[in-house]
Amino acid sequence: MSEILPFLGSGLIIFGAFLLAIAMTLVWKIIGLLPKGRLQHSWFFLLLLILFFVISYCLYAKYSYVNISVTADIVVPIIFFLGAIFVYIVCNLSLKTTRDIMQIYILKQENNTDPLTGIFNRRYLDNYLNKETTKAQSFTLPLSVCLIDIDHFKNINDNYGHPVGDLVLKSIAKNIKESLRDSDVLTRYGGEEFVVVLPGTQVSTSYKLAERLRKNIESLQVAIPGKSGQNELTVKVTISIGVTELSLECKDYMCLIKNADTALYRAKNNGRNQVFIC
- The site for ligand GTP (CB under 6 A) is made up of 116, 149-154, 157, 162, 165-166, 169, 191-192, 268, 272
- Report the chain's C-alpha Rg in angstroms: 31
Cβ closest to ligand GTP, residue 96 vs residue 152: 152
| Count of all residues that appear for the chain in the document | 278
Cβ closest to ligand GTP, residue 165 vs residue 199: 165
- Give the residue nearest to ligand GTP (CB): 165
Of the listed 132, 178, 192, 232, which one is catalytic?
Answer: 192
Distance in Å, CB of 148 to ligand GTP, minimum? 11
Cβ closest to ligand GTP, residue 5 vs residue 167: 167
Cβ closest to ligand GTP, residue 162 vs residue 212: 162
Distance in Å, CB of 158 to ligand GTP, minimum? 7
Active site includes 192? yes
Cβ closest to ligand GTP, residue 84 vs residue 239: 239
Distance in Å, CB of 272 to ligand GTP, minimum? 6
Task: Measure the CA angle with vertex 108, ends 254 and 189; round to 5°.
Answer: 30
Distance in Å, CB of 178 to ligand GTP, minimum? 20
Burial of 16 (0-12, 13-18, 19+ CB in 10 A): buried
Distance in Å, CB of 201 to ligand GTP, minimum? 25
The residues assigned a catalytic role are: 192
